[in-house]
Amino acid sequence: MEKQSMLGFKYLGDFVDFYESLDFIRPWKITTENMNERGRRIENRRYTEKIRKLFAQKKLFRRMVSVAEIISFIDGYEIMSRVVKELKNDLSAKDFQAIELFNEYKIAFSKNRRIDYIFKYDKKLILVEFRVSTTFPNISGMWQKKETELLIYKELLQNYLPDYYKIHLYALIAMPEYHLNQPIPKQIKYNADNVRYFSAFLREIMVKEFPDIQGY
């Protein structure tokens, strides 16, 4: 699985270390601006070049990654780093260390379709599609769109993965937290709640043998 991914982490703590190694000038902010506008401001940053090199080194993709895609990657890394930190508090050290994480996994025989994130725990996989929505996702229909994509990805994976894998799906939708450098409290809270919910989902579905479905 690691060979087919842009990034692969056998230990979740390594993902947080990778994200922090990008060394932003200031804390990363998910803003309401257009992705290309945000991208132009970071085009010459060292972390932008680092992500471009990672994208190119695997030779999984046919073109150079755009600045808008890099913004999307980093927005995802920011939210996912929060999820990992939440998981570290929720799980025993043994279970936390047993979870693997893969980013930008290229599905075989799929004409370059990629899964944003895959969490792996023993023989359980959770496929995650990430997106930032400028309107609340339950209004925009973003969840339905992403869940449809995930169903397709699951079917494509089942063409070649061993039958013993149990595959689960999750659409992780975030919202911009700042507008013109001003915080948006309602959307910051939305993201915090979503991070906690997703962490609970991972804990219940991946780690517990008998999930307490009413517990989240």
Enumerate the domain spans of the chain. Answer: 2-210
Give the span between the Cα atoms of 51 and 7, in whole angstroms: 10
198 φ/ψ angles, rounded to the nearest 5 degrees = -65, -40
The H or E element spanning position 153 is helix 142-157
CATH fold, domain 2-210, is: tt1808, chain A (3.90.1570)
Q: How many CB atoms lie under 10 A from the CB of residue 5?
A: 20
**Token pair for residue 74?**
């980093």
Distance CA 52, CA 202 (A): 30
Residue 202 is predicted with a pLDDT of 94
Q: Which residues pair with 182 in a beta bridge?
A: 179
Q: What's the CA gap between 162 and 120, in Å, rounded?
A: 14
Structure tokens belonging to residue 92: 């025993």
Segment-wise mean pLDDT, segments of 10 residues, the chain, 216 residues: 92 95 92 95 94 85 85 97 95 94 93 93 96 81 89 96 95 95 96 96 82 50
Position 216 scores a pLDDT of 42
Q: From 169, 79, 81, select the one nearest 125 (Cα to Cα).
A: 169
